[in-house]
Structure 1
Amino acid sequence: MSALPAAPVRMRRLFGWLNDPEEPWWERPGPTAVQQHRDVVGTAIYLVVALGVVLASKSAGIAIEGEQSWRAYVAVALMSLPLSMRRRYPLLTLVATSALFLVLSYVSPEASVSAPFQVAYFATLYTAVAWAKDRRMLWIVVLAVLAEMSLWISITFTLTNAITEITPLFEDASGPLPPLAAYVLYTMVMNTAYFGGAVLVGRSAWRTALDRVRVGEQAQKIVKQADELAHRAVLEERVRIARELHDVVAHHVSVIGVQAAAARRVLTVSPDTSAEALRTIEATSREAVAEMRSLLQVLRSEDPGEETRHPEPGLGDIDALVRTHAEAGLLVDVYRIEAREGDLDRLSAPLDLSAYRCVQESLTNVRTHSTARQASVTVRTGGEHTARWLEVEVIDGGRPRQGTSGTGYGLRGIAERAALHRGEVEAGPRTTAPGWRVRVRFPYREAAGTDPEPDRASTPGLAGRPGQAAVTENSTAAESVEKSTALVENRSSPWPSE
């Protein structure tokens, strides 16, 4: 699409009305090779038909007395031949046929009023308006042609003897108007309809071509946007699957690893303890396989609502999670603190799942990368009105286990889950005591259908503490990911120290 060139406002409005209000300078692509071939073939067929019409009219006695017969044939042929180039050179063809129209009207008055002659000129005028690329030059040429034709008609009625030749036609006139005035009015109406019709039809064809281009561009844009959305959906789904696989599998595999190491160390010293560890490995591996199959079944299912899908875990399942860790040798204390009674029961399902996964990953990291034998999990809600929040915190008192540095996907997954809900993460060594702390704060959101407090509104962001800027709805998810990931990587705390 061509841009609108600098021009006076009135000129832009004029050409906007003549062409198109939004894109008055759009250039229509030239005809294809197929279209040019059709023009040549069509002109040949039209020439044969036009000469046949002239032959038929002369055979019927429709001729001007005194005019040589060959002139009509030549005039119609010369007027028809330029049609073969009408779409390739529309303005040049219009200028050529306009000149031929004037000259041939004197060479053969008989041909100038015949249908083949008039139709050929109409086609060139229509094609010029429909196919000309330079719209400014087009309308200049059209105005020149109209002025030329008006002048020719005026000269015909005033300076030539054409009126005297047609005066015998007025002998039987019976209308209320004077015969000459009626004839002039008739000529003006017919020419206005002739030239105006050609211009309007051509302008409509040009706009139709523009509309087709617009529709095609919009279709391409829609296809491109659909591809981008599909690609983005695939990437987001891959991240979600990777996060779920890590959270589900890593938990069980870490239990198996710890129990296998314990069984190896006490295999010869305490067979009973070793056997107990092996039984835990067996049970954990079966549970891991079951959860893996359940997850794969959900991924393969075409209907997300199938009954085979199990409910997603939430904070209400922390006690069961703690028991699995206790069986692996990590004792976990759970504390629940609610600013309002029932806060934890009213959580939205996505927030409930994300909070649970953060606790699960944090406990898995404690057992895998720390020497701690005990940890604590605190789930609390707080804040007021539009600044309410949910916080999960996991603390241990151990030291880093040698040779167990991880890939970082676990902490990144926690940061991503926090960012999905516009939350923030603190993860790093404790400052006042041995051990590690992971603390995640989410804006509090209730499940749909629950009865909110009278003065409660949707949470726009986090309630800031000293030294902590709140994350508002104006922040994008990408910004939240960057902030949360930076906190994890820099080990800097957005909350006050212990």
Structure 2
Amino acid sequence: MAPGRTDTLGRIDAWLNDPADPLWERPRPDRVQVRRDVVGAAVFLAVSLAMVLLTKNMGMRVDGEETWRAYVAVGLLIVPLALRRRFPLAVALVSSGLFVGLSYLSTEASMQLSFQAAYFAALYAAVAWARDRRLLWFVIALVLLAMVLWLVVGYTTTSMIENTFEGYESPEGPFGQLTAAVLYTSAVNLAYFGGAIAVGRTAWRAALQRQRLAEQADQIREQSGELARRAVVDERLRIARELHDVVAHHVAVIGIQAGAARRVLGKDPDAATDALRTIEGSSRDAVAEMRSLLGVLRSDTDLRSGSDRAPEPDLAGLRELVAGHADAGLEVELSCVEARPGDLEQVPDALALSIYRTVQESLANVVRHSTATRVLVTLRSGHASEGDDAGPAGDAGAGSGGTAVEPGPPPAPGDGEPRWVEVEVVDDGRPRAGTEGSGFGLRGIRERVALHGGDAEIGPRRTGTGWRVRARFALRTRDGALT
């Protein structure tokens, strides 16, 4: 087959079917639709027979044709329409044969509008409801071939010419009478069959589009449900981390102060009183924060936006956190190192909360699981131009003593945003025997870091004794704001 012919057939096939889904099969009609087809065909049959009767009464008859032929021809062509959507291709083939044969049986019937409309409906249903689109091509080819043969036979071997020209005046124009009749009839039939195919193709495409929209709606519904489930899981994990961090911090402080109070209760009552006062304050804070978190669980709304819940901790709260551990007997030093003045003030609230909770959990782990007496907490910022050299390698910054860099010149426009921020917690102790934990604390740190797309390093120090927790977060800029 020539390439040009192949391309033409391909374009016709793409027009008739669907290029994206050429093998799509339209679902079969349900019982309700089949029942409607039967009722509709019955009503159409009754109306058509009544129209045949009226035309005969008007005198539109063919001499020499028996009366019953028109009724039988119209009825036989309409009856198959009851199954036009259940068996569209079979009905199209049967209707084509009946249309040709019955036209010879009754000339009166062939001139009836209902007779022609019935055949149009059969062709339309074939294109609109055919499940096998390849077989549809074969059926359409047979139908067109049958129509061509019908015209050829009609104009060459029957009295159609005489019937057509009877009553006409003498011809006038550039064409012969027979040529003009053939061209006219061919154009009418081409428009007739082409219209049936075009309308059927539109209906088939509309059904395909409806199914696609239904599938998309189902997919969107499933995705919405999945997103809702994920949101619930993420919120539960967030609350679980908050509960663990809050409880672990306050319980660690309570434990240290209770031990201190027990040791000095008989020797220094004032010191024991101060320790008990700290225990009292920590327990109240723990209960208050627990109630706030439980309120989120019990409410349908987010209490973080209301006045019933205290503001979330941020980087400014690190000094108070460090001071609380210092009161418990643990020497904690906080060091802030900024690549540019004001870098840490630009850290978003959500990230600041994660940094705060990371430090809080790290200090709580030192209290519970380590013999350390000194902890260094370092908070740093850096810029993309500085690369990873802005931060310490390994434990190089552990003994820096918290010396901040000297303020430099004001940053150039567009170069003042920090590109990363990291927090490092290093202690000088050894693991305390018999204090193994559940691992949820370290897991919570890693989850918080991963939530912001950062990197976490947790483990023993590479030099000396002690434990090291380091978390670095990359800062992204969106519409001029840090995220």
TM-score of the pair, normalised by structure 2: 0.84
5+ residue gaps, structure 1, are: 1-7, 451-457, 460-498
Map residues 284-363 of structure 1 onto 2, 5 A cutoff: 284-297=282-295, 300=299, 301-302=301-302, 305-363=305-363
Q: Which residue of 1 aligns with 2:202?
A: 204
In 1: Cα distance, 2:480 partner to 2:176 partner: 86
* Contact map agreement 2:303 2:309 (CA 8 A) in 1: no
Q: Which residue of 2 aligns with 1:275?
A: 273
Give the Å deviation of 1:70. 1.0
The one-letter code matched in structure 1 to 2:474 is P
Change (3 A) 1:187 1:432: closer
For 1:55, the equivalent position in structure 2 comes to 53
SS at match of 2:376: strand
Instruction: Flag the 1:127–1:384 CA change in 2: closer, same or farther, 3 A.
Output: closer
C-alpha contact 1:321 1:360 (8 A) present in aligned 2: yes
Higher relative contact order (CA 8 A, sep 6+): 2
Mapping of 1:10-159 within 5 angstroms? 11-159=9-157
SS of 2:345's equivalent in the other structure is: coil
Q: Match of 1:334, SS?
A: strand
Task: Note the C-alpha offset of 1:326.
Answer: 2.2
1:250 matched residue in structure 2: 248
Say yes or no: does 1:397 pair with 2:428: yes
* Map of 2:460 onto structure 1: 429
Deviation at 1:308, TM superposition (A): 4.7
Contact 1:348 1:446 in 2 (8 A): no
How far apart are the structure 2 equivalents of 1:83 and 1:233? 54
Deviates more, 1:396-405 or 1:203-212: 396-405
Q: Could you say which residue in structure 1 is the equivalent of 2:165?
A: 167
Indicate how the Cα distance of structure 1 residues 176 and 14 shifts in structure 2: closer, same or farther if over 3 A, else same.
Answer: closer
Cα distance in 1 between the residues matched to 2:198 and 2:480: 60
How far has the Cα of 1:407 moved from its partner?
1.1
| Rounded Cα–Cα distance in structure 1 between residues aligned with 2:207 and 2:145 | 28
Q: C-alpha displacement at 1:220, in angstroms?
A: 1.5
The AA in structure 2 aligned to 1:171 is E
SS of alignment partner, residue 169 of structure 2: helix
| SS of corresponding position for 2:421 | strand
**CA 337–302 in structure 1, closer or farther in 2 if over 3 Å, else same:** closer
- Alpha-carbon spacing, 1:304–1:62, altered in 2? closer, same or farther (3 Å): farther
Q: Deviations over 1:273-332 (max 9, x none)?
A: 333322211111111222233444566434754355543322222111112112322221
8 Å Cα contact 1:351-1:445 kept in structure 2: no
Q: How many residues align?
A: 445
Q: 1:303 to 1:430 in 2, by over 3 A?
A: closer
TM-superposed deviation, 1:362: 0.9
Partner SS for 2:458: strand
Q: What aligned pairs does 1:439-450 form with structure 2 within 5 A after superposition?
A: 439-443=470-474
For residues 284 and 66 of structure 1, the distance between their equivalents in structure 2, rounded to whole angstroms, comes to: 114
Identity, in percent, stands at 55
Secondary structure of the residue that 1:393 maps to in structure 2?
strand
* Residues 40-79 of structure 1: CA deviation (Å, up to 9, x unaligned): 2222222211111111222222211111111111111111
CA distance change for structure 1 residues 446 and 350 in 2, over 3 Å: closer, same or farther? farther
Unaligned runs of 5+ in 2: 1-5, 388-418
TM-score, with structure 1 as normaliser: 0.82
**Kept in 2: contact 1:298–1:309 (CA 8 A):** no
Amino acid at match of 2:339: A
- Name the counterpart of 1:416: 447
Shift of 1:176: 8.3
Deviation at 1:232, TM superposition (A): 2.0
1:425 match: secondary structure? strand
Structure 1 range deviating more: 205-214 or 343-352? 343-352
**Residues 157-195 of structure 1: per-residue CA shift (max 9 Å, x gap):** 222222223433113777887655544343233222221
Bigger drift between 287-296 and 209-218 goes to: 287-296
